Structure 1
Amino acid sequence: MYKRQREAGPRLTGAAAERAARAARAAKTLTPFLDPLPVPRVVRGRKGELTVTMRQARVRLHRSLPYTRLWTYGGAHVGPTIEAKRGSRLRIAWENELGGDYPVAAVRVPFAYDPELPLMWDRPGREGAAVRADVAALPPWAVVHLHGAVTGGGNDGWAENAVLPGAAQLAEYPNEQPAAGLWYHDHAMHITHLNVMTGLGAGAYLIRDEEERRLRLPAGDREIPLVVYDRNLDLDEDGAFTGGLLYKGVVVADDPYELVRPFTGPFNLVNGVIWPHLDVDAGWYRFRALNASNNRPYLLKILDEDGEELPATAFRLIGTDSGLLPRPDPVTAGVPLTPGERADLLVDFSALRGRRLRLVNALPEPGARPDLMEFRVASRAGHDAFVPPKHLATSFTPVTPPDGAPERLVVVTPVYPKDPELWEMEETEAPEGDLPIDGIVQIEDERGTVRTFRRVAATFEDPVRFTVAAGATERWKFLSLEKSEGAYPHPMHLHAVAFQGLSREVYDVSSFTFFELPGGGYGAGTTTPIRWRKSAPLTAAERGPKDVISLAPAQLITVGATFDGPPGRFMHHCHVYEHEDMMMMRPFVVQPEAVMALAPHHGHRSRP
């Protein structure tokens, strides 16, 4: 849809064109690879307790920029790396000592383009728009979600339980899960997409266990988090950088509804710095990569001076969101990461002495430049006795939902003519009369069987429809009805559980349509069943332990999950921050089965 809009959008003229050209020139004044990569400090709890303070700080995002005012975890753009041991509880007090005006200027501008200039979202500056007063008035209201943690509902960082300055969010994490690279970020209701921009966007949380220790993977200075995200920066009237962070919302359509493109920005940062460099020895390293962007997907590749990729023998995926893979997976076509996804990577620099390599985003529209950072390999050989293991997580067990396991269907609607929605569905009888009917979706599978589903929830305020029995293994199906092949994928995230991909299928979704309702507004449903086209492969990462999975247009992805963590009230949502804040987020509940059996009307309501 965005591609169609660009082709049909208005052209920049006059003062607007001059501002745009000045902004494009400003972006080119930042030289890449000047700043060293910051490595967040590592903190551990004492006697099972830890305090992390959210406070204001001034930091430099690039040595050529003025200082930037941020709200931070502990004073740095990326929070401290928290280390915990499997099975050892850690209680964290997330103290809110934030203050001052909201540190992000937000504007909203109508789309226009010049074929000779970068697109609006890939240019710094406000495009002549006034700063939004509603965003400027936001208080420092924040809540921390430990993403990937298997913990009780009261400790999950419920979006509406944010705290103001002078208060602390108290959370207890049991860490009863395999070694994994989790992360923490803000999750405040309605404003997550803005709060993460302030500096409350990311910090690593590493769970260690004995199985990981026995592998003797690169550690210490050779285990480094790579937290990747994009940002935009403000300019003054003369086109010079002010150091201020800018949230530029671009209105890509206004008929029949106003549609604002989820944020992407021109400048990619790694560990809080724009285009840094890292000096490395000629040996093996372990990198814990995380996509902490609002919306931008990445395809990570490491290129040499000639643009050639590292050989698969030197670049291996050993783990994904929720833990180690059973065995290493050679990286042959890059590492795809949608927002929220992680990759545990081994890289061998031993044959690259004296070379300079670039970590890049190999996808189209990567920002002002595809480069993310530079590796500078030492010219002398170093001692490195590490040998990559052939087997990793020997404890890994594939999730196999039994016959008759509960099945949940979650549908994501297209981004046009109105904002995408997240529908929870229940199977029902085929309706009588003509289709389409608002909220009715029919699906014809590979065997020719047609099933009919009806929408039972579509906003966060709708009552809970998915109640999971504690300990149950279920199938969750995510279906995208987006027709545009070029649209960004939806990263689908389940709180409180790790899952594994079971299948990916491609459908002809052309029969899903929007139509005017008699009372006004638009309904949506299928005119005829959407039809199965083919199966598509899952990656090794997607078959491993995950908590986010990439849902591309016209795909149906099935995952299997065993809900063996503490019961409670949790959320599932699209991890594009703008989408979750636009209500593409739904609560679900995990309860002991014996409690569910005593619920009023249990068994009398239609269940998925």
Structure 2
Amino acid sequence: MSENTIGVPGNSGIEADRGYADDIGAVDGATTAASTAADVGGLTPYLDRLRVPATLRPGGRPETIELKSTWVRLHSQMAPTHVFAYNGQFPGPTIEVRSGQRISVAWTNRIKNAPYPVVAGEEPAVGGAPARHSAPGRGEGFVEIKEVADLPAWSVTHLHGAETGGGNDGWAENAVAYKDAQLSEYPNGQRATTLWYHDHGMNITRWNVYAGLVGMYLIRDEEEAALHLPSGKYEVPLILSDRNFETDGRGRPTGQLLHKVRRASDAVNPESGKIVTLPFSGPYNLVNGVVWPYLDVEARWYRFRLLNASNARIYNLALVDEENRPVRGAIRQIGSDGGLLPRPVAVEYDAETRAGLSIAPAERMDLLVDFRALRGKKVRLVNVGQEPAGTADPARDVLFPQVMEFRVGAAPVGDRFVLPSVISSSFRRLSHDIPHGHRLVVLSAPGTTGGAGHPEIWEMVEVTDGSARPGQDGVIALRGPDDAEPKVYRRISRTFDDTLGFKVAHGDYEVWSLLNLGGPTHPMHIHLSQFQVLEREVYDIAGFDPGGATTTSPVTYTGANPVPENEQGWKDVFQVRRAELVKVMGQFTGAHGRFMYHCHLLEHEDMGMMRPFTVMPREVLVFDHHQPGHGGH
């Protein structure tokens, strides 16, 4: 294989697209069969045009958005798929507002006695063949979870990244059923940014989102307008997701949504013996609800609003030509989750590290792509699949790498857009010099005693009086880069229903340190505020004992990973890799109430990796009962 091409993984017995045939290599011993352009998992890649969701621009009246049961064709060679969708569209309409434009939305449930769209089940993990678990259809040993078929259309909508009061945020237990409406108000007092809305129903988010309840939400302001970025038909939302489907007798997908997850035989709850369920991964990549679409583009600059709306897949994307060679110099990132970056950042595939455009579930990227040098060519966005060193995608099985194709017109185009050297002159980088409080959040390893086998969120407080010692359940010894002696922390909560621990004074800056003690990369999301990633510290985690749920020797700082330039903007989702402590800083302002933070691997969120916190006026907290964790100092 040429070092100038990208090796795209395949799998034994599964045919791949001819465009990748010469560059598909073995992965974990698996090899690919001969390729045909007409059959990739029973479907032809790049056959269907990309759909662009309708744009909804609310006016002065309250807006009603209806949740409906409908049928959508996800690929022209596959039967229609039953979905739940906002206004009957999958994805839902792109809502567009101006900064400071307050709107009200009645998320109204119109789904009456509809069969639940998703067939869910588990199959046993099989060592040595990772891609087998994301193969189309049911595998050997598949066991359906019958209770999912009986689920009602019970949903609550969360506007992800919005600064809005706790009563409007989409609290997971405040879901509504048929005929009821969730009334939410959004002040939109934020900088120009890319948000999104999705279901957040308690215990069943993974299936409700999978059923189709997602959509994009854009806030615009004057700073963005002054850049004269590509707009209109040259600004396109790209909502990524992965899916699996039931198959017919010939192994071809039928269109019926199948949520198939693995039972990991090497991750067992030591108390109950229950086998742990791993996050979902599907073989088919969808963009805007179309499997492997194409988009006709002109030879000019385009703006793409990229969102990963998958349950668990962390995409590692690369732009390649028809010979599978990386396309250089075409992509610039100008914004992240919470708004514009200070300057454009070149995004390139690194052949040595296999690092591409890494985007985890719920992350957003504002991208500019220059097609001027690609006149008359076809270029493709592919999921490279082998994550950069030091990361772990919990859904890293990549059976079919195809994502979408861009078909660049041959005609010359007069494009007056000039890439500015500065994007946001108003951006300011946060630093430790700002007075702030501290929180320590530990992400426990799978199989830790007391966690039912699943990773958990542990909220910690420092103990200085000797009342807690390493070796005790829920006690962690941590030696940071400036610590002569390790600090000792005690767990104050581990489940969603444990006592409320984190109480924040409105307007306070806080640094939250998120420590991953083992397991996959967790994309952590904190509601209400936008943050900046300050540091990515690396730790020796060998001293953590999952069996004792404690440390037998201190977890010790060993170095730091650089914070990439495109990760130094405003964010509300942070990839926390194994053995990393990620420090994020933000100001809790703009609203009050009870909010949540959680892992955005939806299977993890539903299985316990979610915790509440409150934001109150400082004058009110003076009269608080001062439970552990108040103040964060």
Q: Normalising by structure 2, report the TM-score.
A: 0.87
Cα RMSD between the aligned structures?
2.1
CA distance in 1, matches of 2:40, 2:373: 35
| Offset, 1:67 | 0.8
CA contact (8 A) 2:68 2:85 kept: yes
CA distance in 1, matches of 2:139, 2:240: 24
1:510 maps onto 2:532 in alignment = no
CA contact (8 A) 1:506 1:532 kept: yes
CA distance in 1, matches of 2:98, 2:535: 33
1:423 maps onto 2:458 in alignment = yes
CA distance in 2, matches of 1:458, 1:60: 42
Q: Which amino acid aligns with 1:135?
A: V
| Offset, 1:363 | 2.2
The equivalent of 2:489 in structure 1 is: 453
| Offset, 1:405 | 2.0
CA distance in 1, matches of 2:476, 2:49: 52
1:163-204 deviation line (CA, Å, top 9, x unaligned): 00101111000000000000000000000011111111x211
| Offset, 1:242 | 2.4
Q: How does 1:57-72 map to 2 (within 5 A)?
A: 57-72=70-85
Q: How does 1:190-589 map to 2 (within 5 A)?
A: 190-200=203-213, 202-237=214-249, 239-253=251-265, 255=268, 256=270, 257-312=274-329, 314-333=330-349, 334-364=356-386, 365=396, 367-402=398-433, 405-416=436-447, 418-429=453-464, 431=466, 435-447=470-482, 448-482=484-518, 488-515=520-547, 523-589=548-614
CA distance in 2, matches of 1:40, 1:385: 27
The equivalent of 1:34 in structure 2 is: 47
CA contact (8 A) 1:505 1:555 kept: yes
CA distance in 1, matches of 2:167, 2:116: 28
145, 152, 173: which one aligns with 1:160: 173
Q: Which amino acid aligns with 2:423?
A: L
The equivalent of 1:82 in structure 2 is: 95
The verdict on how the C-alpha distance between 1:557 and 1:114 changes in structure 2, with shifts beyond 3 A counting, is closer
| Offset, 1:389 | 1.1
The equivalent of 1:11 in structure 2 is: none
Question: Could you tell me the percent identity over the aligned residues?
Answer: 45
Q: How does 1:61-210 map to 2 (within 5 A)?
A: 61-99=74-112, 100-112=114-126, 115=129, 118-125=131-138, 127=140, 129-200=142-213, 202-210=214-222
Q: Which amino acid aligns with 1:493?
A: H
CA distance in 2, matches of 1:431, 1:193: 42
| Offset, 1:601 | 5.0
Q: Secondary structure at the match of 1:157?
A: coil
CA contact (8 A) 1:81 1:204 kept: yes
| Stretch of structure 1 that moved more, 29-38 or 423-432 | 423-432
CA distance in 1, matches of 2:254, 2:186: 40
CA contact (8 A) 1:300 1:336 kept: yes
CA contact (8 A) 1:500 1:544 kept: yes
1:37-79 deviation line (CA, Å, top 9, x unaligned): 0000101112153211110111111111011111111122211
The verdict on how the C-alpha distance between 1:26 and 1:276 changes in structure 2, with shifts beyond 3 A counting, is closer
CA distance in 2, matches of 1:578, 1:560: 26
Q: Secondary structure at the match of 1:578?
A: helix
CA contact (8 A) 1:460 1:585 kept: yes
The equivalent of 2:391 in structure 1 is: none
| Offset, 1:110 | 1.6
| Offset, 1:543 | 1.2
Q: Which amino acid aligns with 2:504?
A: V
| Offset, 1:446 | 1.9
| Offset, 1:126 | 5.0
CA distance in 1, matches of 2:403, 2:437: 42
CA distance in 1, matches of 2:197, 2:87: 13
Q: Secondary structure at the match of 1:379?
A: coil
CA contact (8 A) 1:401 1:474 kept: no
CA contact (8 A) 1:48 1:89 kept: no
CA contact (8 A) 2:437 2:631 kept: no
CA distance in 1, matches of 2:284, 2:128: 20
Q: Which amino acid aligns with 1:427?
A: E
Q: Unmatched 5+ residue regions in structure 1?
A: 1-20, 516-522
CA contact (8 A) 1:440 1:453 kept: yes
Matched residues, number = 571
Q: Which amino acid aligns with 2:477?
A: Q
CA contact (8 A) 2:135 2:282 kept: yes
CA distance in 1, matches of 2:151, 2:357: 37
CA distance in 1, matches of 2:433, 2:127: 53
Q: Unmatched 5+ residue regions in structure 2?
A: 1-32, 350-355, 387-395
CA contact (8 A) 1:410 1:477 kept: yes
CA distance in 2, matches of 1:199, 1:207: 23
CA distance in 2, matches of 1:246, 1:97: 23
| Offset, 1:434 | 7.2
CA distance in 2, matches of 1:110, 1:538: 37
CA contact (8 A) 2:137 2:247 kept: yes
CA distance in 2, matches of 1:479, 1:249: 26
Q: Which amino acid aligns with 1:225?
A: P
CA distance in 1, matches of 2:141, 2:546: 35
CA distance in 2, matches of 1:607, 1:87: 31
The verdict on how the C-alpha distance between 1:433 and 1:398 changes in structure 2, with shifts beyond 3 A counting, is closer
CA contact (8 A) 2:469 2:488 kept: no
CA distance in 2, matches of 1:42, 1:591: 35
Q: Secondary structure at the match of 1:251?
A: strand
The equivalent of 2:67 in structure 1 is: 54
| Stretch of structure 1 that moved more, 149-158 or 332-341 | 332-341
CA distance in 1, matches of 2:212, 2:437: 40
Q: Secondary structure at the match of 2:409?
A: strand
| Offset, 1:431 | 4.4
CA contact (8 A) 1:502 1:560 kept: yes
CA contact (8 A) 1:268 1:367 kept: no
| Offset, 1:540 | 1.8
CA distance in 1, matches of 2:468, 2:93: 59
| Stretch of structure 1 that moved more, 398-407 or 409-418 | 398-407
1:451-485 deviation line (CA, Å, top 9, x unaligned): 11110010010111111110111111100001xxx
CA distance in 2, matches of 1:68, 1:277: 20
